[in-house]
Each structure stands twice: as structure tokens, then as C-alpha cells.
Chains A and B, each alone.
Chain A
Amino acid sequence: MTRAIRPWRSALTYLVLVVGALFFLTPFAWMISTSLKTDAQVFAIPPEWLPTPAMWSNYLRLMTEIPFLRYLGNTVFVTLTSVAFYLASSAVVAYGFSRIRWPGREALFYCLLATMVLPPQVTLIPQFVLFQKLGWVGTFLPLIVPALTGSAFAVFLLRQFYSAIPSDISDSARIDGANEWQIFSRIVLPLSRPALATASLFIFIWTWTDFLNPLIYLTDDRLYTLAIGLQQLASTRAAAWPLLMAGSLLMSLPVVVLFFFAQKTFIAGVSTAAVKG
């Protein structure tokens, strides 16, 4: 923009931005502050923002009073397995939707797009009945097996990326006698690392934070993920705010750290979906 911003307008802009930033930051500060209080300090009026002494031991209590480490282990297992499964299957499926031309491809791709806007509630109950009949309710299987069939979002993202790779590359490999699987695994896949990174970032966050599926399928407290474990703590010990905030903080930490490291990828991913969608 070439126009100079008038001073009063610029001041107003900063004022609004700073007040807004306070609105977005204060809850974080409150979360950290509460996580360092004693169970009694929580109910002080007026609230203390800087608890003295800071109860760092709350983070240890989290490990001893609830099976936090087990919840963490379960969450890590479910998340990493899901990411691996989703990524492997979506990478293969996206190839079939972009690098090979076949009758019916576009129609099936529209079906894939349609599944993205289908309310999950419509498929929830029969899926539950299906897993119940298979005897999978109460295990991790309903959370990770569907990942083997790919994620519509990841397929969409990877297909965009694959389509931009020049077809000459595939053609010359074909002349050299490479079959389609070799072209996929040795040429297209290694070229697609940025798109694979974006897809895994989003899938990681979705499965790490998922609440509804673990809520329905995990019936055994030993298999709880962090999301369910924290909710369980909140419903059994209503006043345990320091523990709850410490747990929420630890659960948010990997996502927040990941976001800081991959901010560009992340923001590009969000905007691509919108601009191309």
C-alpha cells in the first residue's frame, strides 16, 4: 500500500490490537497461574495471579494422583499410529486420483469431497454397532483401523501436490521400464515431502485432540487418552483446578510447540484448503 496511515488511525489500530491480544493471552496466563496454586489458593478472593509459593509439585501430583503418564502413552500411541496409517494410505490413494487417468475417477473424487461435509453423526451409530459386533469396542482398534482407509483432507491436499509434478517425469521413468508402484514410491513420494509434512501436522493435531471417538470407544480406564482422562478427572474431582489446568497445559504443550516450529506450514495449509476449496 502506498498511502501513509494517518497517526491517529495508526494509534487506534495498535490500541485495538493490544486489547485484542490481551483477550487472547489472559486465559493462557490464568491457566499457568492456576496450575501453580494450592487447592485452597484457587478459591482466594480476589484471585491471585502470581501464587506464592509456586506449586511446581502440582505437575508431580499429576503423575501420582492420576495415571497421567499412562494417558500420555496411550495418546502418543494412538496419535502416532493414526498419523502413520493415514499418511501411508492417503499417499497411495492420492496417486490413484491424480497420476493415473481412468474412467470414473472424477465421479469417485466427488464422492471423496462429499464425505468431508457429511455430518459425522450420520455414520456414527452404525459404525459403533459394526465395531461392537466385531468386539472392538473397548480397544484402540476403532480409533486406528479406519486410518488405514485414508483421510479425505490428506488425499485432497496430496492430490493437489501430485498434480503439479510434471508428467514428463513419469513418462521417462515408464520408458526406462519402471512400473506404476515404482514411479509412486521412488519419484512422486520423495518429491512430495512438503505436502506430506503439512498433512501429518494436521492429522497429528486432530487425533491428539480428538474427544468424541475416544469417548465412545474407550470404556477401560487403562486405555484412556489424555482428552478422556482429563474429562474424567474434571467430572470426579470438580474442584481440582490446579491439577486440571496443569494437565490441560501439558496436553496443549506438544501442539503449541509444534505450531511454533511449523507455523508457516500450518498457516499455508489452512489457507490452501480455503483458497482451493
Chain B
Amino acid sequence: MAAARPRQRPGRAALTPRQRRDLWLGLAFVSPWLVGFLVFTVYPVLASLFFSFTDYNVVSAPRWIGTRNYADLFSDPLFGKTLYNTLYLALLGIPFSLLVSLLIAMLLNQRVRFQGVFRTLYFLPSVVPAVAAALLWRWFLNPDYGPVNEFLWQFGINGPGWLADPAWSKPALILAGLWGVGGSMVIYLAGLQNVPVALYEAADLDGAGSWQRFRYVTLPMLSPVILFNLIMGIITSFQAFTNIYIMTGGGPSNSTLVYALYLYQNAFQFFRMGYASAMAWVLLVITTAALALVFRTSGWVYYEARE
């Protein structure tokens, strides 16, 4: 009886010599990542949770202040403004870019000439470095000397101040962001090319029109890809930083002060590391909640039976 017991217990004792050897081998191969995971992910995640309950300016040791950073966050008018700006850009920007990239992908998926040329043209801006793209758009949307307002002027329209006008700065950012939809367009295109032709033929036999083909064949088959682009959109829009830092720096009148930018300012300009850590944890909670909501309501996504 006593001899049989260890065999039933899970854990190291139950491993054969071969399995034990493989365990050590496997761990040895993944060890570079494992060290990085512990040092650059696990420790920082726990440390930032700790910092979020302290007053910390890097120079002197962190001082425990309980939940005061969190309480301060919710009474900080700039934090509220930041949340509003971030949600505005996400709720308007994500659906807009999802629709535009889907539309382009569907047009390109038809039998068009120069398909490859068009695909390259549309995709190209998405590989331009964010710094270069942001500088370019800042200058392109210049209200006085830029070509956009000059173009509008041809039609007798007095163009808006774009990035310089608090009422137009957020739409201007969305417009500039549209320049980089090539990435999600290419993903849609790959998804569209995976739709079996037989499904369209069957739909034709049933006398389906264009709208019905789209609604009952394309859309369900494409839904996993739409979900993927939606998730990537949520993740990137909550973390948007570089383009806004360079295009507006958060202005004018804080109209483009977004979450990641305010967090950066608190941490690296005001050295309020505790406060910024609290912001980081609120961001983690918001992102997780948003993704959970998307997955919970993802009943519209159609998965093919996998072999």
C-alpha cells in the first residue's frame, strides 16, 4: 500500500526518468523567455500594483498611502477628460476604420485589374514609421498652409483648424488614423479569399441578390476576422500614444489628451509614479473588461467546425 501511494500523487514523484529529463530539457530551452517573463513581466506587474498604493517619485522610497491614488484619480478632472477623449476616439475610430478597411478589402476582392498595385498602395502607409506619419499629418492638416484646406477652399469651403481646433482635433486624429487601415484591410482580404466559392454558387442557385450574398455568406464567414480586428482595434486605441504625442501633445485645451499620454506625463514629466501606476492598473481593468464584454457578446461570430 505504502509503495503504491506515490504513483497516485501527481507531481514530480510521478514522472518517469524520461519525463523528468524532458522537463529539464524543455525548461532549459524556454529559460531565456522564463527569465524575461519573471523579470520584465511578473515582477513589474506586481511592483506596479504595489506602487499604485504609494506616493513615489523615484528619488525617495515609495511611501504607503493606501487607496488615495485611486480616490484622487476619480476626482481628477483631467483624468475624466482623458477617459472621455480615449472613449471618443475608440467608439468613433474603431467602427469607422473597421468599415472602411472592410469596404476596401471587398472592392479589391472583386475581379479588378491592377489588384496587386492597389493592394500595395493601400497597405503602404501602414508600414510608415509612426513618427514620420505623425509629422506628415501635422503638416498635411496645417489649417493655413496645408493642402487639405487649400483643396476645400477650391469649393468655397473655409476649412476647419483641424489639429489646432479643440472641436476638430479628435476627428482629425481619426482621419489621420484612417491612413493606416492597410493592416486590417490585408487581414480582411485574406479572410475573404478563404471563403469557399461553392458557398457563393449555392447562394446564386437559391437566387440570392448581392445584399443577401453579403449578409448570409460573406459576413458570417468573415466574422472571426472581424472579431480579431475589433480586438486589435480596442487594444491599440487604449494604448495610442506616439501619433498623438507628436501631432498634438494632448492639446489644444487637452482635447486630445488620451489615457496613455496622461499616464506618460504623470510618470515621466511629473514623476508621480504611484499615481501613474494606479492609472496603469485602471487601464488593465478597463481593457480586460472591454475584451470580456466583446467575447461575451461574440455570439455573432460564426466558427466553422474544425477537424
Contacts and interface: CB of A to CB of B under 8 A. Distances in A.
A16 B107 contact: yes
A271 to B, nearest CB: 4
A269 B160 CA distance: 39
A271 B190 contact: yes
Interface string A1-24: 111010000100110110011011
Interface residues of B toward A: which range? Answer: 35 or more
Contacts of B238: 119
A244 B133 CA distance: 11
A248 B139 CA distance: 12
Contacts of B140: 27, 30
Nearest to A275: B190
A146 B130 contact: no
7 contacts: A43-B144, A97-B30, A102-B23, A115-B41, A211-B130, A256-B124, A271-B186
B120 A101 contact: no
B37 A149 contact: yes
Interface string A114-136: 01011111111111111010000
A81 B168 CA distance: 42
A165 interface: no
A124 B26 CA distance: 29
B129 A208 contact: yes
A83 interface: no
Interface in A249-272: 249, 251-252, 255-256, 259-260, 263, 266-267, 270-271
Interface of A: 1-3, 5, 10, 13-14, 16-17, 20-21, 23-28, 30-31, 34, 42-47, 49, 89-90, 92-93, 95-97, 100-105, 108, 111-112, 115, 117-130, 132, 146, 148-150, 155, 180, 184, 205, 208-209, 211-212, 216, 226-227, 230-231, 234, 241, 244-245, 248-249, 251-252, 255-256, 259-260, 263, 266-267, 270-271, 274-275, 277
B139 A24 contact: no
B287 interface: yes
Contacts of B267: 124-125, 128
B136 interface: yes
Nearest to B225: A274
Interface string B187-198: 101110010010
Interface string B153-190: 10000000000000000000000000100110011011
